A = this chain, B = another copy of it.
Amino acid sequence: MAIPTPGQPVRGSRSGAPIMALFDLLGRRWGMGVLWRLSEGPCSFRVLQERCETISPTILNRRLKELREAEFIVRCDQGYCLTDLGRELHQMLVPLSCFSRQWAEVLRDETEEPS
């Protein structure tokens, strides 16, 4: 499966709008998850697999290839680590983490007290 590239046709944009290319890449199963887990620190393939808890090696390897091609990840002596670009991307995901807790509360409130 070709990795989505800005300027090339991608899901959501025949003209390859960068944001749609990024959504296409991160919107693959485990895309953001792998990035997120790796941001905890450089680590080996197997350790990363454990951090992800339930990912299969097949798909971990595929996502790693894609994210390396996109230059968010590189190989290093510890195994894999984020590039500067990757760290920057991770920074944009951090607010999502706060938001997700808020979201969890809203959902909980709705289901627990349908008053």
- A interface, CB within 8 angstroms of B: 5-7, 11-14, 18-23, 26-33, 36-37, 52-55, 70-71, 85, 88-89, 92, 95-97, 99-101, 103-104, 106-108, 110
Contacts and interface: CB of A to CB of B under 8 A. Distances in A.
One complex includes copies of this chain to the number of: 2
User: Interface majority SS on A: helix, strand, loop or mixed?
Assistant: helix
B27 A104 contact: no
11 contacts: A11-B55, A12-B33, A12-B52, A19-B97, A19-B100, A23-B33, A27-B31, A27-B32, A70-B103, A85-B103, A92-B99
B18 A103 contact: yes
Contacts of A12: 30, 33, 37, 52-55
